[in-house]
């Protein structure tokens, strides 16, 4: 028996869930089992398909079940399944809930590779897709029809960080017989309790804050009891599984996630507040800032923020941006986020968005505030801006 600890704080539960030292010679962390074949103890059990824990490596090993249990319990889901990447978690959830002829309402600020999946694979499957403005809220009623099977949310949105009114959207969706799927990677199972806000399937790129060390690709799908039968069938049929070493790293990352998130959030706010004082900056896009348009909704529905936010510059030529980026020493230039290190990338928007009413006009950057000392990070950005301003 592992400790469920439902009545304890999340910061405690990340340290207790999905561990069973008594079953593992007292070892604190669940060991890594590499397995394809799993042997049955006798003929009768084989004939009855009665297996000790798992019938076959693809269906998981004790580490898989430990991580699934921890994620499920933290978010208050009925079930959890792991996928080899966050992108695959999203595509699997959509494949499990859509059929030809269905209509999908997809948020315009969705993670871009998901948009690519919609416009290629889902279109080929005869799914009709309508992109909607992330700030639509209850206005989603005007776009929904009796063909709408799914309303997909991602809050805050990728690159532009609009907070969605998920409860208002869920109310309309459920009244019309549609399910709500939500990419909750930014929220994490700690900071956005998706199932308390009407979500039916909550999706996570564990690659980000759960593993937290920029060394693992992994995804998870948490779901309610109502969607379990259909979802489980597709998940199994697709033959998905997660590698035991990656699962181990995710479980290990989970243990420190609560304190890491707290520090990422504090550093991001410090950087954001400093950036707001800079002449080069038009706007900082971070719902944890009190003057952000999404702040009220974030405060109502979220239990915390993290290190990822956007910065809109007033202007900037290619050469100025090049000087700025190439001067930075502590901010890595690379995609993904959620690791211990600070990152920065330029965000391209205009070519992808089709339904968002109000988009940033100036050059847009995405910053991930890592676990470095904030003063060092600010000094690095200041040097970057010096280089930026030295080019006219």
Ligand X SMILES: *Cc1c(COP(=O)(O)O)cnc(C)c1O
Q: What is the 3-state secondary structure (H, E, C) of 80-141?
A: EEEECCHHHHHHHHHHHHCCCCCEEEEECCCCHHHHHHHHHHHHHCCCEEEEECCCCHHHHH
Q: How far is CA 336 from the centre of its chain?
A: 11
Active site (annotated) includes residue 246: no
Q: And the tokens for 192?
A: 């956005």
Q: Which stretch binds ligand X (CB under 6 A): 203-211, 309-317, 326-334, 382-390?
A: 203-211
Q: Which of 150, 160, 222, 151 is nearest to 189 (CA)?
A: 222
Length of the chain: 392
Catalytic residue among 102, 108, 165, 183: 183
Catalytic residue status for 183: yes
Cα–Cα distance, 191 to 258 (Å, whole number)? 9
Q: Nearest distance from residue 92's CB to ligand X, in Å?
A: 11
- Of 219 and 316, nearer to ligand X (C-beta) is 219
Nearer to ligand X, 337 or 385 (CB): 337
Residue nearest to ligand X as judged by C-beta position: 86
103: tokens are 């209509």
- Look up 58 and say whether it is catalytic: yes
Question: Any contact of residue 347 with ligand X (CB under 6 A)?
Answer: no
Exactly one of 134, 189, 198, 219 binds ligand X (CB under 6 A); which one?
219
Task: Return the closest-CA partner of residue 188 out of 246, 252, 261.
Answer: 261
Site for ligand X in 44-63 (CB under 6 A): none
Q: Is 162 in the site for ligand X (CB under 6 A)?
A: no
Give the binding-site size for ligand X (rule: CB under 6 A): 15
222 touches ligand X by CB under 6 A: no
Interaction between residue 183 and ligand X (CB under 6 A): yes
CB atoms within 10 A of CB 284: 23
184 lines the binding site for ligand X (CB under 6 A)? no
Helices (H) and strands (E) in the chain, counts: 14, 11
Dihedral (Cα; 39, 43, 46, 47), 10-degree rounding: 170
- Between 154 and 292, CB nearer to ligand X: 154
Q: Which is nearer to ligand X, 61 or 92 (CB)?
A: 92
380 is catalytic: no
Query: Which one among 85, 160, 286, 327 touches ligand X, defined by CB under 6 A?
Result: 85
Catalytic one of 58, 171, 278, 383: 58
Q: Does 155 bind ligand X (CB under 6 A)?
A: no
Catalytic residues, by residue number, are: 58, 111, 183, 208
């Amino acid at each position: 028996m592992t400790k469920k600890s439902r009545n304890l704080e999340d910061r405690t539960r990340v340290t207790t869930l999905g561990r069973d030292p008594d079953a593992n010679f007292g070892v604190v962390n669940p060991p890594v089992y590499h397995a394809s074949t799993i042997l049955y103890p006798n003929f009768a059990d084989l004939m009855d398909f009665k297996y000790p824990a798992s019938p076959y490596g693809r269906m998981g090993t004790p580490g898989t079940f430990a991580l699934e249990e921890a994620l499920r319990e933290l978010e208050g889901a009925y079930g959890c399944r792991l996928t080899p990447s966050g992108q695959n978690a999203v595509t699997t959830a959509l494949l499990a809930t859509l059929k030809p002829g269905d209509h999908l309402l997809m948020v315009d600020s969705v993670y871009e590779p998901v948009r690519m999946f919609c416009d290629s694979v889902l279109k080929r499957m005869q799914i009709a897709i309508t992109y909607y403005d992330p700030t639509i809220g209850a206005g989603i009623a005007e776009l929904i029809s009796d063909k709408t099977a799914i309303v997909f949310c991602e809050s805050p949105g990728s690159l532009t960080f609009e907070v969605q009114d998920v409860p208002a959207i869920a109310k309309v969706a459920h009244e019309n017989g549609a399910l709500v799927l939500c990419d909750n990677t930014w929220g994490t199972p700690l900071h956005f309790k998706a199932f308390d806000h009407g979500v039916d399937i909550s999706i996570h790129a564990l690659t980000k804050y759960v593993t937290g060390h920029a060394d693992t690709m992994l995804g998870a799908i948490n779901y309610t009891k109502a969607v379990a039968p259909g979802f489980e069938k597709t998940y199994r049929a697709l033959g998905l599984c997660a590698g035991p070493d990656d699962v181990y790293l995710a479980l290990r990352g989970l243990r420190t996630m609560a304190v890491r998130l707290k520090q990422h959030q504090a550093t991001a706010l410090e950087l954001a507040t400093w950036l707001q004082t800079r002449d080069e900056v038009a706007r900082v896009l971070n719902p944890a800032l009190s003057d952000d348009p999404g702040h009220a909704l974030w405060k109502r529905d979220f239990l915390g923020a993290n290190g990822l936010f956007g910065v809109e510059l007033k202007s900037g030529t290619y050469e100025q941006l090049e000087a700025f980026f190439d001067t930075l020493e502590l901010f890595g230039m690379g995609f993904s986020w959620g690791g211990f290190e600070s990152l920065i990338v330029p965000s391209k928007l205009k070519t992808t968005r089709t339904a968002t009413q109000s988009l940033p006009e100036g050059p847009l950057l995405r910053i991930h505030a890592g676990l470095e000392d904030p003063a060092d990070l600010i000094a690095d950005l200041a040097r970057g801006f010096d280089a930026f301003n030295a080019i006219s």
